[in-house]
Amino acid sequence: MAKEYTDSNFQADVIASDKLTVVDFWAEWCGPCRAIGPVIEELSKEYDGKVNIGKVNVDNNPNVSMNYGITSIPAILFIKNGQVVDKLVGAQPKGNFVKKIEAHI
């Protein structure tokens, strides 16, 4: 299951992690966000133990969203060793996520 990242746990769970972390910035009211939700869940199961995969609700966590300049959602950041190494914006097919993950693990 995808983890819920928040303003309070982002530093410890994402920035301080030595694993690749995939972060889906989303909101309840966003149709494309809801469309990729099941893909994010599938990936979290498939890469369990190898890659951290989670979500940030932009409405509830404005600090993290602002820090990363999230202006349109869904926005998916690929973060490794505290740095953004890749990014996808908008609803994407699962294959695009897999390509990015495989390139960075």
pLDDT band at 1 (very low <50, low <70, confident <90, very high): confident
Record the pTM. Answer: 0.96
Whether 99 has a pLDDT exceeding 90, the answer reads: yes
* 56-67: pLDDT as tens digits: 999 999 999 999
The pLDDT value given to residue 54: 98
Active-site residue list? 30, 33
Q: At the fourth CATH level, which superfamily is domain 3-104?
A: Glutaredoxin (3.40.30.10)
CA distance readout (Å), 16 to 9, 46, 49, 82, 97 = 10, 22, 16, 6, 22
Q: What percent of the chain has pLDDT over 70?
A: 100
* 21-64: pLDDT as tens digits: 999 999 999 999 999 999 999 999 999 999 999 999 999 999 99
